[in-house]
Amino acid sequence: MTASYLAVDPTLQDFGQDPWWLVLAKVLFGFVFAVVCTLLGVWFERRVVARMGQRPGLNQVGPFGLLQTLADGLKMAFKEDILPKSADRFVFLIAPTISVVCSVTVISVIPFGPMVSIFGNQTPLQITDIPVSVLLILACSSMAVYGSVLGGWASGSTYPLLGGLRSSAQMISYELALGLSVLAVFLTAGTLSTSQIVAAQADGTRIVLPDWLGGLEFATPGWYALLLLPSFLVFFVSIVGETNRAPFDLPEAESELVAGYMTEYSSLKFALFMLSEYVAMVSMSAFTVTMFLGGWRAPAPITTIWAGANSGWWPLLWFFGKVLVLVFVFVWLRGTLPRLRYDQFMRLGWKVLIPISLVWVMVLGGIRLMQGSALDTNQRRWVAGIGIAVVLVVMVFWPSRKKAAPLTAQEQADAHPRGSFPIPPLDLQVPPSPRARRAVAEREPANVGAGPVYDAGEPGPEKES
């Protein structure tokens, strides 16, 4: 790394030295950035999803429909603000504010660029930074769920309450996997400061293979998305679940819960919930760029050709470009994947993401421990071989999930007597159709007590009476 690159990296001592007017300017920039990202995010999502569905999309209000989201915001501001009769007034009003404040606070510790000169003042392009900035972001993302939970509870309605409960379940399920993936970054970078994590990704990591693998030496890119690929994949899936975005938008499932926790909201309070969702999407994308994609640093081909790509104001372009790519992935997922079933969603978090994160953190911790130990080459080979053998044994002898045999017509009749309400099976499999059940009953004449089976739409004895 050259001296010109080292000169632009901010340190923790560079924060807290700005004059008051510059601090206010940075805070105002963060707030304006959140609001503008919401307006452009709604427009961008509707345009991209329309293009994926081969529809025109927004094209009437303003050039390319750019003013449509502004018109929608003004429309929501002048709509009637309805307060349900059974709602808790104070909690009902404060819930969307909690979501917005927590989402916007994340932007305060995101590094947008290196040290720059603003009217003669050397300052980092970041509002502030502390030694535990990553923990602050995790705390804000955890607190944001209180807006959904309290909004659903305070509405005094069934559907919002179910949406709020789903939000809390999502947070508990995916916050663990998110924290474990961040732990891998901490083990590699040795810091929880966002600016220092970006600085740690400046240089590539040089890896030397052991002699029994040829003793080859090569350098990997500095981005943790490549060096810590399992953590990056788990992290991105977790933030999609944290932000309630499709295919994990179960708290807002319009086909099941009308609109989830925001069903009873209208006017500006509904706009605040929408603002918090899109700000969370952009802030989590910026957090991903900071943790795994090198932050504001330009990709390797650009830095190879242009030595000054990471100095001055140019890093803002690389940072916003990376964030835009991740926001496009969010929209791409919404336009492509169907919503997961609730049991599938919880199973993915508890039985897939968390075990993978735990195993990967243990492997990474073992690698770090061996790098700092006094073991010779043969001893390290034995340790690595034992670890691989243990993994293979677990994979071979892991108990497989056996699918239960389907019930016969007699077993179904015994389980659901005539006149009882049908209960769905525990594995949520689709039961056989009435025509299939009638065919089975005709092949089994000993079906005593089950009664006749009627086709869909055919009047039974209850309907005839």
Number of residues that this document lists for the chain: 465
Q: Which of 35-49, 76-90, 303-317, 412-426 has the lowest mean pLDDT?
A: 412-426
Whether the pLDDT of residue 102 is over 80: the answer is yes
Give the phi and the psi of residue 263 in degrees, each rounded to 5: -60, -40
Q: CA nearest 341: which of 277, 255, 422?
A: 255
Per-residue pLDDT, 372: 66
Per-residue pLDDT, 6: 43
- Taking the C-alpha atoms of residue 293 and residue 227, their distance in angstroms, rounded to an integer, is 10
Per-residue pLDDT, 4: 40
Residue with the bigger pLDDT between 50 and 85: it is: 50
Q: How far is CA 378 from CA 212, 340, 374, 381, in A?
A: 10, 48, 12, 5
In whole angstroms, what separates CA 217 from the centre of its chain? 36
Average pLDDT over residues 36-60: 87
Whether the pLDDT of residue 7 is over 60: the answer is no
Q: What is the pLDDT of residues 328-373, one digit of tens each?
A: 999 999 888 888 888 888 888 888 888 888 888 888 887 777 766 6
Where in the chain are the domains? 7-376
Whether the pLDDT of residue 311 is over 60: the answer is yes
Q: Give me 268's structure tokens.
A: 């500006």
Strand-pair partners of 289: none
Whether the pLDDT of residue 147 is over 70: the answer is yes
Q: Which of 117-126, 180-189, 434-443 has the lowest mean pLDDT?
A: 434-443
- Taking the C-alpha atoms of residue 101 and residue 34, their distance in angstroms, rounded to an integer, is 11
Give the phi and the psi of residue 219 in degrees, each rounded to 5: -115, 135
Q: What is the pLDDT of residues 173-208, one digit of tens each?
A: 888 889 899 998 998 888 899 999 998 888 665 555
The answer to whether the CB of 453 falls within 8 A of the CB of 437 is yes
The answer to whether the CB of 129 falls within 8 A of the CB of 15 is yes
**High-pLDDT (> 70) share of the chain, %:** 78
Average pLDDT over residues 250-268: 80
